Amino acid sequence: MRLVLLGPPGSGKGTQAVMLARRFNIPHISSGELLRQEMAAGSPLGGRAKEFMDRGDLVPDELVIEMMGQRILRPDCSAGFLLDGFPRTLEQAQLLDALLEKHRAPISHVADLDVPEEVIIERIRKRGESGSGRSDDTVEVAAKRLQVYWAQTAPLSRYYRERGLLRQVNGLGTVEEIQGRLVQALEA
């Protein structure tokens, strides 16, 4: 299974990704996590990505593509993988398809966690009010990331629907309920 998991920031996608990867026994590859590791390691890529990530903007396609391409071609991905946070733009999706086509191992499944924008906005607002130590700045960045998602990443649903790969899953409910729906949609 070569799976892409889509869903807005704050949809619980990361949690679901970890559970799905375990269930299907495939590596969970999170582009955000890999970028944070690059930053922590002080690599040139991490240095270039930081300003974009701090603002809630997308890191330029060519940097992310290069990093993810290398990761996907590692041997542990030969029997499949779960991509979380990538692709995030149409250009990334097209370049990913081109890369995988070359290796005759195309994306087999795409699951899209469907959470209404109002619900996500309410979660961001509550987090801002909760006094959890998060600054207004963080709420602003979260709002920015959401805006970027609707503008640049949401169009990917259509891209994958047109290719007959998209499975839309209701993202409201408990972690277990959502996981159950995802598994059902992916095994169908």
Secondary structure of 127-177 in HEC code, one letter for each residue: HHHCCCCCCHHHHHHHHHHHHHHHHHHCHHHHHHHHCCCEEEEECCCCHHH
> Does residue number 8 form part of the binding site for ligand AMP (CB under 6 A)?
no
Which of 31, 23, 149 minimizes the C-alpha distance to 96?
31
Give the contact letters, 85-104, x = binds to ligand AMP (CB under 6 A), - = no. Answer: xxxx---x------------
> Does residue number 45 form part of the binding site for ligand AMP (CB under 6 A)?
no
For ligand AMP, which residue has the nearest CB? 32
**Which of 126, 134, 158, 163 is labelled catalytic?**
134
Compute the distance between CA of residue 107 and CA of residue 76 in angstroms, rounded to an integer: 16
Active site residue 134: yes
Of residues 163-182, which lie at the interface with ligand AMP (CB under 6 A)?
none
In the complex, minimum distance from the CB of residue 188 to ligand AMP, in angstroms, rounded to a whole number: 26
Paired with 163 in beta bridges are none
Compute the distance between CA of residue 22 and CA of residue 20 in angstroms, rounded to an integer: 5
Q: Which is nearer to ligand AMP, 131 or 135 (CB)?
A: 135
**Which of 88, 125, 161, 181 is labelled catalytic?**
88
Paired with 112 in beta bridges are 6, 168
Of residues 129-168, which lie at the interface with ligand AMP (CB under 6 A)?
145
- Cβ pair 157, 112 in contact under 8 A: yes
Active site residue 74: no
Active site residue 22: no
Q: Which value, to the nearest 10 degrees, does the dihedral of the CA atoms of residues 133, 153, 160, 181 take?
A: 20
Among 4, 6, 21, 35, binds ligand AMP (CB under 6 A): 35
> Does residue number 12 form part of the binding site for ligand AMP (CB under 6 A)?
no
Active site residue 13: yes
> Does residue number 28 form part of the binding site for ligand AMP (CB under 6 A)?
no
> Does residue number 56 form part of the binding site for ligand AMP (CB under 6 A)?
yes
In the block, tokens 């940097």 appear at 63
Residues that bind ligand AMP (CB under 6 A): 9, 31-32, 35, 52-53, 56-59, 64, 85-88, 92, 145
